[in-house]
Amino acid sequence: MLVAVTGLWTAQTLFINMLHSVLRAPMAFFDSTPAGRILNRASTDQSVLDLEMASRLGWCAFSIIQILGTIAVMSQVAWEVFVIFIPVTAICLWYQQYYIPTARELARLAGIQRAPILHHFAESLAGAATIRAFDQENRFINANLGLIDNHSRPWFHNVSAMEWLSFRLNLLSNFVFAFSLVVLVSLPDGIINPSIAGLAVTYGINLNVLQASVIWNICNAENKIISVERILQYSNLASESALEIEECRPHNNWPEVGTICFRNLEIRYAEHLPSVLNNISCTFPGRKKIGVVGRTGSGKSTLIQAIFRIVEPREGSIIIDNVDICKIGLHDLRSRLSIIPQDPTMFEGTVRGNLDPLLQYSDNEVWEALDKCQLGERVRAKEEKLDATVIENGENWSVGQRQLFCLGRALLKKSSILVLDEATASVDSATDGVIQKIIDQEFKDRTVVTIAHRIHTVIDSDLILVLSDGRVAEFESPAKLLEREDSLFSKLIREYSMRSKTFQQLRKSA
């Protein structure tokens, strides 16, 4: 009972530590770590810890106590048996030392090869419709079988190594017992008391079995301890910066104006990778609309990630209303900003839980936000109203409606700074127009930073930042940039217009 309770408490503690460590890990960790590897730790390795580790260690302790008791009895009635027992123990320990390094590495290899199976399965499940549409089922089935084979190879050798050890321990135990019996039977009468001989034989059988059992249980426990090692690896991940820094907390109304100043900003995703942003120096005036444009890979999304400190600056700084964001806590920063991402996110739960997960606003405020983002009538039509069900990923709402939900969150929050990360790239033109109209009406006195996929969405911005290869190419009002035909912004406008005309022609011909 004690072993079970202690094991359960330990497993729960390690899992909570791992969960907190993974959730607080920087985005660079998730960029470089496949989801299957994380799932492997949280499922297979955690299962070993929950169901097997405590019992393995309990059997180890039980076997050791048994063999110590047997040794104590044997030392009183037939100490001569130790002439054989000690060399046999040395041989068993040699077997253990020979087996453990190999078994440990085989178990580690099996764990490593299991992660790609989970990752491939998750990807196949998510893209099942696309796989079927392109008739690629056989390719993915064969890829999955190949991954299973890669996992089976080290696992087969791991099981074979266990059988190797088991066979030798049993063989040695039987040999010693048979040898002891022959010696006892061969002794002349009167050399040893028959009752003592019988006791020696009885305990000798038990001693040999216990000796093999101790070695076997220790080896098994050390083999399974690899899962604990792998969980501990993810329990000590490098964490993001502190959520709150008491000596550097901004005042309650920060940011008031919403001025964003970049000073010699340089960003790279890893030390061995080139810089994504180089020497970015510009200022977004407060309560203005700023459009950020550029070709793919120019660093637009990285700039937004830097504002939220999803990636940390390697050099330079970002100042928002005279506060260096790198000197305050992440919660103090991110809770004061709003973002509408390109891929709208909704969680399983209720409408209210998705709009106001921390229950900070009244029902009237929530309804007001829903009405402003033109979702009020649809929610009122549902029987549960604000408690209407939202399934996983918001699949019972269209993409456009999910994007309007994200806009509703921003309306509730009333932040001085709103970031649109290509927010209308995945919605139709009608929803795009609705979102742009709401933003123009409700955020006219706030700083709005828009990452543009459709160039026309930023043409009415106060300022346009044009990025090229991670550097500031142009930063001026749209009118002045369009006056110069050789400006990069003018070229982007012409390219976008050409694509739009081609698309319209294709639609007409179809």
What's the pLDDT tens digit per position in 268-298?
887 888 889 999 999 999 999 999 998 888 8
Q: Is the pLDDT of residue 6 over 70?
A: yes
Contact 489, 293 (CB under 8 A): yes
CA angle 450, 261, 255 (to 5 degrees): 80
Q: Say which residue, 235 or 422, is predicted with more confidence.
A: 235
Q: Please tell me the predicted confidence (pLDDT) of residue 107.
A: 83
Q: Tokens in use for 432?
A: 């795009």
- What's the rounded Cα separation, in Å, for the pair 342 and 115? 29
Q: Is 40 exposed, middle or buried (0-12, 13-18, 19+ CB in 10 A)?
A: buried
- What's the rounded Cα separation, in Å, for the pair 291 and 293? 6
- What's the rounded Cα separation, in Å, for the pair 281 and 103? 56
Token pair 């003018």 in the structure block, residue: 490
**Amino acid (one-letter) located at 229:** E
The tens digit of pLDDT for each residue in 340-379 reads 888 888 888 898 998 888 888 898 999 999 998 888 888 9
Residue of 88, 106, 108, 104 whose CA lies nearest to 215:
88
Give the class (CATH, top level) of 260-346+397-509: alpha beta
Element at 421 (helix H, strand E): strand 417-421
Q: Please tell me the predicted confidence (pLDDT) of residue 146.
A: 93
Handedness of CA 106, 109, 111, 116 (dihedral sign): negative
Of the pLDDT bands very low, low, confident and very high (cuts 50, 70, 90), residue 509 is very low
Q: Is the pLDDT of residue 211 over 80?
A: no
- What's the rounded Cα separation, in Å, for the pair 291 and 302? 15
**Domain chopping of the chain, boundaries:** 1-235, 260-346+397-509
Q: Please tell me the predicted confidence (pLDDT) of residue 210.
A: 75
Element at 279 (helix H, strand E): strand 277-284
Rounded average pLDDT over 168-184: 76
The tens digit of pLDDT for each residue in 246-269 reads 888 888 888 889 999 999 999 988
CATH fold group of domain 1-235: ABC transporter transmembrane region fold (1.20.1560)
Distance, first Cα to last Cα, the chain: 74
CB atoms within 10 A of CB 430: 9
